[in-house]
Amino acid sequence: MSYRAPAWLPDGHSQTIWPALMLRTPRPPYRREQWPTPDGANIALDFVDGRRGSPLVVLFHGLEGSSDSHYARALMQAVAARGWHGVVPHFRGCGGMDNPLPRAYHAGDAAEIRWILQRLALRYPLMAVAAVSLGGSMLLNYLAEEGPSALPLAAAAISAPLDLVAASTRLDRGLGRLLYTRMFMNTLKPKALATLRQHPGLFDAGRVRRARTFVEFDDAVTAPLHGYGTALNYWQRASSKPRLRQISCPTLILNARNDPFLPASALPAATEVSPTVVLDFPLHGGHVGFVSGRFPGHIHWLPQRLLDFFLPHLQNSSSQANPPAKP
């Protein structure tokens, strides 16, 4: 299923999350559960309930996203239309939940993905997992660490910052810094300062307040908070691109070549991934945008692309688990 941007939508930053944000779909019929984390916090998970025995589609959101992000609403509506189960787990401090612990979430946080999927797998034997942007980096790191033991029957990473060093050159300069970095800092910095009030001395409040770029914020907060030391060390160690050969789960990696968060030169070649990884790099689509159709456009292409990729893997596993009766 190839993607073609509408002729009225020019290349560049205009084909990003911004037009998609203006094309929000209705809120799905979510049912919320709150789960305790292994280390004593709580996270929220918003479920869409499907038919009994149908597969589950999990969606991990991006940086400061939620179940109300445009891509989450669109995918969960498409999942509900098929009668499948869906869920959007929220990372620490997202989805309206407080985060009382001296840790957040980050690109290399495979552990957070692991325990959530382990618990979901106890309830849903047929499971496919998608993840967006930073969540995509977390998912790919999990898949690489688990290898053949990974729980999903199929997976997809959308607009993931596969090379965090290369991504930093986009987000901390020019229009990327003016638009996107400023938007993220508006929520990341207050959350970091709230954590500091609960855990005095954890990092330098002055550096947090002065942070205007991701290198400044990650160097002050993300890297030391999660054991990486410096921003550069965090970016190098948490990048998923060097680990893509270790993935055994059938996995779609979908990145637009005009994504303002990652230069096309940083996208992996087929020789840099395992045979189970499918690379899809359309020319247009921006960052989790993929607006298509006649003006004003729609954002249905992405959910359809994901579900079309998941379907044969879910069907194969379902038929193996329930073989036809012998005549």
| 3-class SS letters over 203-247 | CCHHHHHHCCCHHHHHHHHHHHHCCCCCHHHHHHHHCCHHHHHHC
Phi, psi at 190, each rounded to 5°: -60, -35
The angle that helices 110-121 and 134-146 make with each other, rounded to 10 degrees, is: 70
Torsion from C-alpha of 128, 287, 246, 87, nearest 10 degrees: -20
204 is an active site residue: no
* End-to-end C-alpha distance for the chain, whole angstroms: 38
Q: Taking the CA of residue 296 as centre, how many other CA atoms within 13 Å lie in the half-sphere pointing to its CB? A: 7
Selected catalytic residue, list 54, 66, 69, 133:
133
**Active-site residue (options: 85, 106, 226, 287):** 287
Cα 139 from Cα 145, distance rounded (Å): 10
Residue 197: other Cβ atoms inside 10 A: 9
Contacts of 119 (CB under 8 A, 6+ apart): 35
Burial 238-271 (b: 16+ CB within 10 A, else e): bbbbebbebbbbbbbbbbbbbbbbbeeebbbeee
Active-site residue 39, yes or no?
A: no
Alpha carbon distance 16, 284 (integer Å): 9
* Phi, psi dihedrals of residue 24, rounded to the nearest 5°: -65, 135
133 a catalytic residue: yes
- Strands 127-132 vs 42-48: parallel, antiparallel or unpaired: unpaired
Active-site residue identified among 219, 259, 292, 313 = 259
Angle at 287 between CA 2 and CA 188, to 5 degrees: 155
Q: Is 64:94 a contact under the CB 8 Å cutoff?
A: yes
Report how far apart, in Å, the C-alpha atoms of 99 and of each of 36, 88, 115, 174, 178 are.
Answer: 12, 18, 17, 32, 28
User: Catalytic positions, please?
Assistant: 133, 259, 287
